[in-house]
Amino acid sequence: MIVRAAPHVRQVVVIDDGSTDYTAKIAEKMGATVIRHERNLGKGAALRSGMAFAREKGFKAVVAIDTDGQSDASEIPKVIQPVLDGEADVVIGVRSTPGAMPRERVIGNRLLDQATSRKAGVKLEDTQSGFRAYSERALRALDFTEKGMAVESQTLIDAAKAGLKIIGVPVSTTYEGIRAKRSRLAHGSEVLDYVLSRTVVDSPLLYLGMPGLIAVLVGIGAGALVVNTFFQTHLIATGTAIISAILIIAGVVAMATGLILKFLRVQMSK
């Protein structure tokens, strides 16, 4: 990967995310700058370290590429050119080789593309591709705060919200002889959890306050039915009473949580 990347960039930076082999030493001997993590912190942390280094050095453009062998580093010029030409702030290397991606990955990626696109508010392709280019403007605007695999969706959502131009360019890929470090289910669950959690946090009154209010109103209605039944029959509808109490308590908790999250977001934005 280093050999193929070197002719197309001014500096190759390798993030050694807590490896226990000779990755760092080999990379250094091949001329790469190595940033070491003492222990494995995840993909998001690796990207954050790399981007912090790029900002510190004042790089005008950065290409991020996974070292799992799926992507071809010789295609770096294709991915970075739109950034250099000022046509985009974030370029996604869209894996488009016909038949190269296993069917289960295609289905999973499409689901994650839909979830990420909906949250970002723009149509995005191959949102989980680790082969990307970023402009200097993107480096200043993005924080890469997620530690795990959800960082790919996080950066695209943040980029879209910041008004950055995102485009995709087709790149080749291979899965022959490559073993996934994590299951697709674990990857997908992590990304979907992030997108759903962020959706709730971004609009807490809509996704927590409103359902909470509805639950309280339904609970009050059920309680009124219990009272009415008691006056008519002198019997307590125990089941309905329990449901009423649960709905009211859950609704109040949801509304309170929504209000707290809304307050925190307002304070953080000041």
Residue-wise pLDDT for 4-62, tens only, equals 899 999 999 999 999 888 888 999 999 999 999 999 998 999 999 999 999 999 999 99
Residues 6 or more apart in contact with residue 268 via CB below 8 angstroms: none
**In whole numbers, what is the pLDDT of the chain averaged over residues?**
90
- In the structure encoding, which two tokens stand for residue 29, read together? 């001997």
- Reading the block at residue 123, the tokens are 């149509």
Q: Binning pLDDT at 50, 70 and 90, where does residue 241 land?
A: very high
Encoding tokens for residue 100? 């190269």
pLDDT at 104 over 90: no
Q: If we measure between CA atoms, which residue out of 220, 212, 222 comes closest to residue 253?
A: 212
Quote the pTM value: 0.79
Longest Cα–Cα distance of the chain, Å, equals 88
Per-residue pLDDT tens digits for 143-169: 998 888 899 999 999 999 999 999 999
Q: What angle do CA 6, 8, 14 make, to 5 degrees?
A: 40
Rounded Cα distance between 82 and 90, Å, is 9
For the record, the structure tokens of 171 come out as 């790149």
Alpha-carbon torsion, ordered 152, 156, 161, 162, to 10 deg: 100
pLDDT of residue 181: 58
